[in-house]
Structure 1
Amino acid sequence: MKQHRKDFIPYSILELATIGSGFSVSEVFKNSLNLAQKAESFGYNRFWLAEHHNMVSIASAATSVLIGHIAGGTNQLRVGSGGIMLPNHSSMLIAEQFATLSALYPDRIDLGLGRAPGTDQTTAQAIRPDRMQAVYRFPEELRSIQQYFSAENKNNKVRVPIAEGVDLPIYILGSSTDSAYLAAKEGLPYVFASHFAPTHLFKALTIYNNNFQPSAYLEEPYTMACVNVLAADTEEEAERMSTSSIRMIVGVLTGQIDYLQPPTEMTPQLKQIAVDPALQRMMKFSFIGNKETVKEKTVKFLEDTGVNEIMVASHIYDPIARINSYRLFAEIMEEIAESRCMASN
């Protein structure tokens, strides 16, 4: 794994290819690539794509295909899955897909693995009727992928020849404590989905760090956590942008998922919705505001969690405003690194 100086915390992007009202899927994919290209110039470390199914507002269902699209349009940015929901798939086919990606884009592909369905239970059943058995076999399926990528697998009957000996970084994703135990036991880096499931973040990080066992893949614990960021030049702009996210989250909570809607003024009704306990729980790690506000919240998050890397998700309707938000966050992370460097000298 690439090592960074102690005062620098890598920052990365989690992309869902969110479909805004009035945008075609082709436009969404073009905007995702444009964002990745800008992110590369802003100094982002990774650009990961999430697997979701049967959601009108998310276009990242064929995750491996999109990874190839993004990697092909960038030069140095690491591109990967955040994540592949392994119980939806055959471990052998995932090994074939990511070995292919690794051959096309050497030393740039990451494989993040999760066990959640990435959809509702009815759709999960349609994807794979024996999915629940696959969930229980998640540790074995993980080791199966590792076996396919090992040089020693050439002696086995079932092989993925193009994967053998390929150094593909694998990450365990989670939103509960179960995944923390697994990542620690296997000696793999751990990524927590605190952008939508913040409840168990600190407990999961503690479990992972306290139980970590060094492995051939990783000598010391490595943690990443994801937050939502909506940064703008002014507080008023950021608040207005957040109205799209608020309505999207309400749709998720009520089961009425719709396309991401254009922002509106923050009405009294939306303000009331924004302070609803369920919404507040989901948005606990949503940093909304101007550069100063977002920086303050980011510094606190990094200090409180001690994560090695921070990942950012955003649901912003306007592609230009979204790029500006990621630009501002990159500036924030560079300023934080500079402050840490000065403090350590």
Structure 2
Amino acid sequence: MNKKDIKYSILELAHVSKGSTYKQTLNNSLDLARLAEDKGYHRFWFAEHHNMEHIGSSATSLLMGYIADNTKKIKVGSGGIMLPNHSPLVIAEQFGTLAHLYPGRVDLGLGRAPGTDPKTARAIRSDFMQAAQSFPSEIEKIERYFSAENKTSDVRAAIAEGTNVPIYILGSSTDSAHLAAKKGLPYAFASHFATNHLHNALRIYREEFTPSEVLDKPYNLAGVNVIIAETDEKADELFTTLIRMFLGILTGERDGLKPPTAMTSELQGVLHHPQVQQMLKYSFVGSKESVKAQAKEFLDETDVDELIAVSAIYDAEDRKKSVAAFAEVIQEINKENTALEKEKTV
């Protein structure tokens, strides 16, 4: 049974709701980050997606600066920078700059997926496929640019040197688990949509983990969908927005987040479609009490160190209520675990 003090964080995609604008969406992201900071969330990460009309999280490092500049202490990061889209030197310079402006608050999560379709990936970087295959060596370049020892190199990211921005390996398959373990880096798994390999990836990471200068033991983050409302029925209604979003992914008919509706038999059928059911397997949906039970079960099964919540909720106020409630859920779980540990020592 998990007895850790679980950290809780947010992964923000800046979903654009139907009828909203990019400006309002990004303003909502800032409002959410401020609330998260107030409620004890550990970090606020932005994803990276391209050529997706209804997602506002494309210029990840710019959004990180926007959030960091308008909050006080919450960590800001990339969940993640899709490294094959970028020059490692430029990423080191961007994150080194952020590290000087917001000391101790900047995370660099790195992934190898494109975050877009193949045609757009080639438009972003013509040698994308080669860069994706070179992902481990591209990470090594960034680590070198962050190191103070790189000062004698002919190629430098001077503003990044000595900042040692913490790096996280992101993944949705077992390949990333092997890499994170080999490098002794923290590992974040995208279980909010890629559920099949979660347990195997965690096992590989823990079994193969090699202590490093940054970590002496494995550290896991896991993505989960979270929708909390006053009642289970209301949460199910809010959940219909996410169900229809995933249906759009499967059918290629992507659109902005749609308003919630009653949980009809048709939507129930979509939810029980094998692919949708699998993708949404790690979704905590319900009242606070229901989500607490779901979270405890997930933590007991996975023994992860940190949950990173994704909340695709149509209405900004409903989303803020859900985020605030999830903080209370994890705080209650941590409090109960602390009490149990104290009982053992008496």
Is the pair's TM-score, using the shorter chain for normalization, greater than 0.5? yes
> Which of 140, 144, 160 lines up with 2:141 in the alignment?
144
Q: Deviations over 1:253-299 (max 9, x none)?
A: 11111111111111221111111111000000011111111110100
Q: Given residue 23 of structure 1, which amino acid in structure 2 is its aligned partner?
A: S
Query: Aligned pair 1:281/2:278, yes or no?
Result: yes
> Which of 212, 217, 223 lines up with 2:209 in the alignment?
212
**CA separation in 2, counterparts of 1:218 and 1:7?**
17
Name the counterpart of 2:67. 70
> Superposed, which structure 2 residues align to 1:41-120 within 5 Å?
41-120=38-117
Percent identical among aligned pairs is 55
TM-score (norm 1): 0.97
> Which of 291, 294, 312 lines up with 1:294 in the alignment?
291
TM-score (norm 2): 0.97
Name the counterpart of 1:340. 337
Q: CA RMSD in A?
A: 0.8
Question: Is the partner of 1:82 in helix, strand or coil?
Answer: strand
Question: Is the partner of 1:217 in helix, strand or coil?
Answer: coil
1:324: Cα distance to partner? 0.4
Name the counterpart of 1:3. none
Name the counterpart of 2:131. 134
Query: Aligned pair 1:306/2:303, yes or no?
Result: yes
Question: Is the partner of 2:17 in helix, strand or coil?
Answer: coil
Q: Given residue 68 of structure 1, which amino acid in structure 2 is its aligned partner?
A: G
Question: Is the partner of 2:68 in helix, strand or coil?
Answer: helix
Q: Deviations over 1:87-124 (max 9, x none)?
A: 00000000010001111111000000000010111211
**2:4, 2:305 within 8 Å by CA — same for their partners in 1?**
no
Which ranges in structure 1 are unaligned for 5 or more consecutive residues? 1-5
1:7: Cα distance to partner? 3.8
Q: Given residue 241 of structure 2, which amino acid in structure 1 is its aligned partner?
A: S
**CA separation in 2, counterparts of 1:149 and 1:167?**
5
Name the counterpart of 2:173. 176
Q: Deviations over 1:236-264 (max 9, x none)?
A: 11011011111111111111111111111
Query: Aligned pair 1:324/2:324, yes or no?
Result: no
Runs of 4+ in structure 1 deviating by more than 4 angstroms, as ranges, are none
**2:47, 2:79 within 8 Å by CA — same for their partners in 1?**
yes
> Superposed, which structure 2 residues align to 1:200-239 within 5 Å?
200-239=197-236
Q: How many residues align?
A: 340
Question: Is the partner of 2:45 in helix, strand or coil?
Answer: strand
**CA separation in 1, counterparts of 2:246 and 2:207?**
34
Q: Given residue 341 of structure 1, which amino acid in structure 2 is its aligned partner?
A: T
